[in-house]
């Protein structure tokens, strides 16, 4: 068991709180996901004043979409990248147009994928300088000039 009040417990609690906030869930929802009856238990864990059995680390990690190592503070960057990728995947799944585009993109040759990435990068750069409509027109013209085989 990770001892309450210790530095390690406080860090784990902070990591749990940060991951929970990034995941956009409440203490109450997290409590439900990991088998606690009230959000008070989660609050005490996040503050580092309640014991957290080591066997619960995996349950918290699963509920928050991070690795146990992330919660322990061992692999922060990869867990954050995984969290970002998970959030993006969830957005794509919920948007039927984006999901269909992702499917079509994955069927393209590597050369055609590269051409698509160039168009998107061009749109991102130009959009900062113009309004959205003008960016689309410029990106379409740029795309027509490219020699991809879509």
Mean of the pLDDT values across residues 82-108?
A: 85
Cβ neighbours, 10 Å, residue 144: 7
On whether the CB atoms of residues 142 and 119 are closer than 8 A, the answer is yes
Cα 80–Cα 86–Cα 88 angle in degrees, nearest 5: 105
Q: What would the pLDDT profile of 47-83 be if each residue is shown by its tens digit?
A: 988 878 888 999 999 899 888 888 888 865 555 676 7
> Measured between alpha carbons, how far is 91 from 125 in angstroms, rounded to an integer?
23
Reduced to 3 states (helix: H, G, I; strand: E, B; else coil), residue 2 is: strand
Q: Can you give the pTM of this predicted structure?
A: 0.48
Q: What is the pLDDT of residue 45?
A: 93
- pLDDT band at residue 35 under the 50/70/90 scheme: very high
104-142 pLDDT per residue, tens: 988 999 899 899 888 888 887 665 555 555 545 555 555
All structural domains of the chain, each given as residue ranges with its CATH number in brackets, are 7-91 (1.10.260.40), 108-145 (no CATH)
Q: What whole-number distance in Å separates Cα of residue 114 and Cα of residue 133?
A: 23
Count CA atoms closer than 13 A to 20's CA, side-chain side. 23
Residue 34: in which H helix or E strand, if any? Answer: helix 27-34
In 10 A of CB 95, how many CB atoms?
12
């Amino acid at each position: 068991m990770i001892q309450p009040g210790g530095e390690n417990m406080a860090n784990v609690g902070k990591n749990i709180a940060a991951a929970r906030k990034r995941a956009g869930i409440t203490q109450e929802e997290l409590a439900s996901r990991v088998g606690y009856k009230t959000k008070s238990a989660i609050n005490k864990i996040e503050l580092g004043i309640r014991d957290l059995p080591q066997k619960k680390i995996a349950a918290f990690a699963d509920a928050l979409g991070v690795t146990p190592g992330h919660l322990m503070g061992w692999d922060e960057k990869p867990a954050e990248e995984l969290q970002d990728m998970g959030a993006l995947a969830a957005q794509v799944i919920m948007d039927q147009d984006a999901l269909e585009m992702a499917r079509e993109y994955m069927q393209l040759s590597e050369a055609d994928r590269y051409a698509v990435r160039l168009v998107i990068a061009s749109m991102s750069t130009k959009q900062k300088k113009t309004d959205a409509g003008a960016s689309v027109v410029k990106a379409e013209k740029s795309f027509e000039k490219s020699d991809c085989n879509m």
